[in-house]
A and B are shown apart, each in its own frame.
Chain A
Amino acid sequence: AQSVSQHNHHVILSEAASLELGCNYSYGGTVNLFWYVQYPGQHLQLLLKYFSGDPLVKGIKGFEAEFIKSKFSFNLRKPSVQWSDTAEYFCAVAGNTGGFKTIFGAGTRLFVKA
């Protein structure tokens, strides 16, 4: 069955700390991977996505993610977080199996202390 697993449900960091949020997926075909972010009071929006090419993907606001096929992982990173990065982060997978539907992970709530 297709699934997405996010390892950390809650993360608390101080400003300037480095961030890595884990995401592993289980999928039986070619995958496309996404990180979406939901800032407090705002709607879900795309942070970055991978569907082919360079496995290191750069997104908005200094975020990047690395697709490691052998590990079925797509971890999100940022070298130095800011208070404004406080949000909920969702990893998602979509592919040709199952009618192209997108499956979301459970989400990671990040709180950055000023």
Chain B
Amino acid sequence: DTEVTQTPKHLVMGMTNKKSLKCEQHMGHRAMYWYKQKAKKPPELMFVYSYEKLSINESVPSRFSPECPNSSLLNLHLHALQPEDSALYLCASSLQVISTDTQYFGPGTRLTVL
């Protein structure tokens, strides 16, 4: 199983809502990532988890709150988002957080903030 799954595929939320994005992998990977991709732009790293601990936070606003409850699951909790946060949110995983490792990406959650 070389698949990273993400739910939901699409999400529309208001600025006062609280929602969560979910990511799952069963490849035994110990590194998991959240990226944000705006239209016609490259993915931009948000967070990196290594062995279920937050390893990198790329100065992401606190309205985005990641959580890694176990080695297979990664969540992104959303609260009080702004319309400019509308984007495709990609989850990825790799064997470990080392620079030679291939990252396996999920299909993304397309988020629209009204």
Cβ contact within 8 Å between A104 and B108: no
Q: Inter-chain contact count A-B, CB under 8 Å? A: 55
Cβ contact within 8 Å between B100 and A51: yes
Cβ contact within 8 Å between B99 and A32: yes
CB of B76 within 8 Å of the partner chain: no
**Given that A90-B42, A99-B48, A99-B56 are known contacts, is A32 also in contact with B100, CB under 8 Å in the complex?**
yes
B89 neighbours in A (Cβ, 8 Å): none
Cβ contact within 8 Å between B56 and A105: no
**Given that A44-B90, A51-B100, A96-B99 are known contacts, is A101 also in contact with B106, CB under 8 Å in the complex?**
no
B58 neighbours in A (Cβ, 8 Å): 101
Interface bracket on B: 20 to 34
- The 0/1 profile, CB within 8 Å of B marked 1, for residues 29-50 of chain A is 0011010100000111110010
User: Whose C-beta in chain A lies nearest to the C-beta of B2?
Assistant: A45
CB of B81 within 8 Å of the partner chain: no
Choose one: B97, B99, B102, B108; the contact of A43 (CB below 8 Å).
B108
Cβ contact within 8 Å between B42 and A107: yes
CB of B49 within 8 Å of the partner chain: no
Report A35 CB to chain B, min CB distance, Å. Answer: 11
A46 neighbours in B (Cβ, 8 Å): 102-104
Choose one: A34, A43, A101, A106; the contact of B42 (CB below 8 Å).
A106
Bound-state Cα–Cα, A105 to B44, Å: 10
CB of A14 within 8 Å of the partner chain: no
A88-107 contacts to B, CB under 8 A, are 90, 94-96, 99-107
Interface residues of B (CB under 8 A from A): 4, 40-45, 48, 55-56, 58, 90, 92, 97-100, 102-108
Interface residues of A (CB under 8 A from B): 31-32, 34, 36, 42-46, 49, 51, 90, 94-96, 99-107
Give 13 new A-B contacts, CB below 8 A, not counting A46-B104, A100-B99: A43-B4, A43-B90, A44-B43, A44-B90, A44-B105, A45-B105, A46-B102, A95-B99, A99-B97, A102-B45, A104-B43, A105-B42, A106-B41
